[in-house]
Amino acid sequence: MTSDTRTQAEPAPAANDPPGIVKQLFLGRILDESLFPYPRIRERDREMLGAITEAVDDFLASKSADLKRYDRQAEQPEEFIQGLRDMGLFSLIIPEAHGGLELSNGAYARVLAQTSSHDSSVSLTIGAHSSIGMKGLLLFGSDEQKQRYLPRLASGELIAAFCLTESGAGSDAGSIRTRAVRNEDGSWTLDGEKIWITNGGIAVFYTVFARTDTPEGKITAFLVEAAWPGVSHGPHEDKMGIRASSTTTVAFDGVRVPQENVLGPVGKGFKVAMAILNSGRTGLGGGAVGGIRSLLRLALAQASERRQFGKPIAEFGLVREKLARMAVDGFAAESTVWMVAHLIDSGASDYSVEAAISKVFASEAVQRASHEALQIAGGNGFMRDFPYEQITRDTRILSIFEGTNEILRLYIALSGLKSAGAILGELQSALGDIFNHPIKGFGVLGDYTGRRVRAATGYGTDRIEYPLAPPLRKLATVYEKYAVELARVSDALLRRHGKAIADQQHAQKRVADIAIDLFVGLCTLSRADYLLSQNDPVAATAVEAATLFTRDARRRMARNVRAVERNEDALLESVASTLLKKQAYPWDVI
């Protein structure tokens, strides 16, 4: 993406990063060493998770009627939030030295899975605080700032919120208008209004992004306290879902922000914002996985208890298929979210594309699951006495916020293509005119030239060397094949469109979907292999789930690869143009 079309998905670039797993897939390489064996949970996390999830279950199960009421009244009362504080749920990722539990990203995502299996708004209140509200302080704060704020953030005395979006700046976050002007004494004066801020009405600590237009850069991040003169928030928004989670406008009217509350370097606020969003995505993914687990539990009970035509509906093939597909989606989403969390925990610097994939896949998986679980419940699913309609409303937001899934797909594609383009550029200068020769001409991975290039550079290396268990070895060939296909179609698209690929959204979506299937499939394969290696009693079902995912993924990938050359893009564009011109549905039977 160019600097003019920056979006909420743009990464915080880290200089000289080695390309991450998915960027390597765009080059036809499968990074075995990063994907296999599947990461194990740390012992410390396992012990803490046992205690935390039990406490969460005890507390939230006892409040299930209240949680339903909070959804209707669109508010979590203060005594309930105090209960969350008492359980330490605002301290999950804060270092022990500052009074927190210092959970890894993986363990944090697992806690959010547990809270989400009871209520999404609870996850939002905790998650917006940790994943985005005060994450910037953890990632970019000075020691002094951390000492000043982290202990009170850990206790929940300060609840945090992340203030980026404005009425004119959603996906196009670089176009914010909230302004901060530097005063002579080094302090800043902040003016503007943010919208749809999660925790807006209960937070007392805001991470705020404002246009500063300094020589160092356009946007700067600030730590702002709600109690300061000029800070206010609007009423709770009346939302479709996650209704009990506080969402409000937050306004800044001539707010004086002391110099010591600038977060990160002046002018680098956009990078700060993107780094926060990238590192926060596994929290949302964990929440989605928790949603799938609870939907499956509900659907299994419903299918087993409900009798029609003289037997439980669980005996009908169409119902069983839904249950199985929900479980496969859950296994794939869970395997991906925890792989990405582990990548972050292990200090990988280039994980933003993998994090975007985990968010896109998990959010869509839980939405599919809510649709299917509601369908299994039939008419009951539609009734507000049953939980399905609330879960369906609550999970709808997941593909909209923290980067819409459309923007994230574009980001996945363009990041991979950019990486492939850079390598192609290097090869081009190394191999002279081979790229432009009409007969030798390229097909980097398909012909003799391709094999030579591959031998010389490793570009297009395609075999998973890790010794997978025999039942999974055959599945691996699908990913080996389509990693090479991804490299091939990326090569073809870059060759055809050059820099104009940035405008080819239909092509980008296809490429992103291939990358999503590859990465999610490889995570699923790795997890199934690990379970087999442990002789886990659920390993056989995991192999079946990995097999089902891989077969579906192979069909989708084959379709997407074919559609790079033969598609209906022009027809779709034409219909859309007619509709937009007429501003109406154009047909009628009368």
Ligand X SMILES: Cc1cc2nc3c(=O)[nH]c(=O)nc-3n(C[C@H](O)[C@H](O)[C@H](O)COP(=O)(O)OP(=O)(O)OC[C@H]3O[C@@H](n4cnc5c(N)ncnc54)[C@H](O)[C@@H]3O)c2cc1C
**C-alpha span between 201 and 248 (Å, rounded):** 6
Given a contact cutoff of 8 angstroms between Cβ atoms, the answer to whether 488 and 514 are in contact is no
Cα end-to-end span (Å), the chain:
47
Q: Which residues pair with 223 in a beta bridge?
A: 207
* From 10, 354, 372, 402, active-site residue: 402
| Residue (280 or 450) nearer to ligand X, CB | 280
Nearer to ligand X, 323 or 400 (CB): 400
State in angstroms the smallest separation of the CB of 270 from ligand X.
13
Q: Are 58 and 107 spatial neighbours (Cβ–Cβ below 8 Å)?
A: no
Q: Applying CB under 6 A, which residues contact ligand X?
A: 8, 128, 161-165, 170-171, 196-198, 239, 247, 397, 400-401, 404, 406-407, 410
Dist CA 248 CA 497 (whole Å): 43
How far from chain centre, in Å, is Cα 481? 26
Give the Cα separation of 133 and 159 in Å (integer). 8
Helix/strand/coil for 242: coil
Indicate if the alpha-carbon torsion angle 503, 509, 510, 513 is positive or negative: positive
Nearer to ligand X, 163 or 299 (CB): 163
Look up 402 and say whether it is catalytic: yes
Nearest-approach distance from CB 6 to ligand X, in angstroms: 10
Q: At its nearest, how many Å lie between ligand X and the CB of residue 359? A: 12
Nearest distance, CB of residue 526 and ligand X, angstroms: 30
CB of 85 to ligand X, least distance (A): 20
Q: What is the rounded CA–CA span in Å between residue 168 and residue 188?
A: 23
Question: CA angle, corner 483, sides to 477 and 486, nearest 5?
Answer: 140
- Rg of the Cα trace of the chain? 25
> In this complex, which beta carbon is closest to ligand X, that of residue 136 or of residue 330?
136
Enumerate the β-bridge partners of residue 189.
181, 256
CB of 94 to ligand X, least distance (A): 19
Is the preceding peptide bond at 37 cis, omega within 30 degrees of 0? Answer: yes
103 CB-near residues (< 8 Å, 6+ apart) = 45, 48, 92, 93, 111
Helix (H) or strand (E) holding 292: helix 269-305
Nearer Cβ to ligand X (205/442):
205
Q: Which is nearer to ligand X, 105 or 199 (CB)?
A: 199
Q: Are 200 and 168 contacting, i.e. CB atoms less than 8 angstroms apart? A: no
Q: Which is nearer to ligand X, 102 or 406 (CB)?
A: 406
Token pair belonging to 467: 């010794």
* Cα-based torsion angle of the residue sequence 120, 126, 129, 135 in order, rounded to the nearest 10 degrees: -100
Contact between residue 528 and residue 540 where contact means Cβ atoms under 8 Å apart: no
We find the least distance from the C-beta atom of residue 127 to ligand X, in angstroms, to be 10
Nearer to ligand X by Cβ, of 19 and 133: the residue is: 133
Query: In the bound complex, which residue of the shown chain has the CB atom lying closest to ligand X?
Result: 170
Q: For 324-345, what is the HEC assignment?
A: HHHHHHHHHHHHHHHHHHHHHH
CB of 27 to ligand X, least distance (A): 25
| Residues marked as catalytic | 402
